[in-house]
Amino acid sequence: MNPIYTGGRILAGRELIYASCDNRIVVFDPTQNKQVSAIVHPNEEIVNFCLSNSETLLVTFTNNYLLRLLDAQTHRELNLIKINKHFVLDLAFSPGDKHLAVGCVNSVVRIYSTTTFKQTHEYRKHRFSVRRVEWHPDANRLQLASLDEEANFLVFDYVLNQVVYSVTDFGRNFIFTDSGKTVVSCDRNIKVWSYSNCQLLHTFKLGDRDIDTLCLINIDQAGEERGAAPSGLLFGG
């Protein structure tokens, strides 16, 4: 298999893999072992991007502070805005893809409507760069979790427009489990938290190296249907 990118973010959809490199996002089909398309922003560098949950929308952020909403299938530009001169460190679509959350280097979390591409909410509760944003998987909750570079974890309620949870020393990264009942975070350890009260449930000590990446995976086993609940946790430094 030839390399499809030399740096940048990589995201796996249900059938395709998306990887950013310089001014393009390469779309790769692993079943055909080849590149099937590419999204190109001439004379710009794609700093970050995100694929929607339905895989119908894709958003990019470039080094000239442009946020673009694209049709993920046709790559047609649906909307474009220029945000203030603060780099976007992470992006996340809400369940149902109606809202887009943006975590910025200036400690601000912004939320945009994907219909109008106008800002609907802005949170200034972090004091450090926001490196990670992720919506709770339950669409009925409309709650957004964020993590800054000093390991402060906050949960914003979109409807109440306020912080409902706040935890310090949370970790370097986090993911929700599929049910949303627990949150897994990492630093030099793997930590499992109850989402209902943000209490630490388990700590797994792994050594003296920092862990940066977390991913829930399905491990096919005899007699189990494909697509069953995640049965493993993949992590790396």
Residue 218 scores a pLDDT above 80: no
Contact at 8 Å (CB) between 18 and 27?
A: yes
145 CB contacts (<8 Å, ≥6 apart)? Answer: 133, 134, 135, 136, 153, 154, 155, 156, 174, 176, 183
Q: 0.75 cut: is pTM over it?
A: yes
Structural domain includes residue 142: no
Q: Does 67 reside within a domain? A: yes
Angle 99-103-106 from CA coordinates, rounded to 5°: 140
Q: Is 124 part of any domain? A: no
- The backbone region for 214, taken as left when phi is positive above 0, alpha when psi lies in -120 to 50, beta otherwise, is beta
Residue 72 within a domain = yes
DSSP string, 13-25: -SS-EEEEETTEE
Specify if 27 maps to a domain: yes
Q: Is residue 120 part of a domain?
A: no
pLDDT in tens, 103-133: 999 999 999 999 999 999 999 999 999 999 9
Residues 10-33: what's their mean pLDDT? 92
| Residue owning tokens 């940066």 | 212
Average pLDDT over residues 93-111: 96
**DSSP letter for each residue of 198-228:** --EEEEEE--SS---EEEEE----TT--TT-
**What's the confidence (pLDDT) of residue 56?**
96
- The boundaries of the domain holding residue 48 are 1-82
Average pLDDT of the chain to the nearest whole number: 88
Per-residue model confidence (pLDDT) at position 213: 75
Q: For position 34, which CATH number holds?
A: 2.40.10.480
Does residue 103 lie in a domain region? Answer: no
Residue 7 lies in a domain: yes
Q: Structurally, how many domains does the chain consist of?
A: 1
Mind listing the pLDDT tens digit for each residue in 141-186? Answer: 899 999 999 999 999 999 999 999 999 999 999 999 888 999 999 9
Q: Write out pLDDT tens, residues 55-78.
A: 999 999 999 999 999 999 999 999
pLDDT at residue 228, rounded to an integer = 47
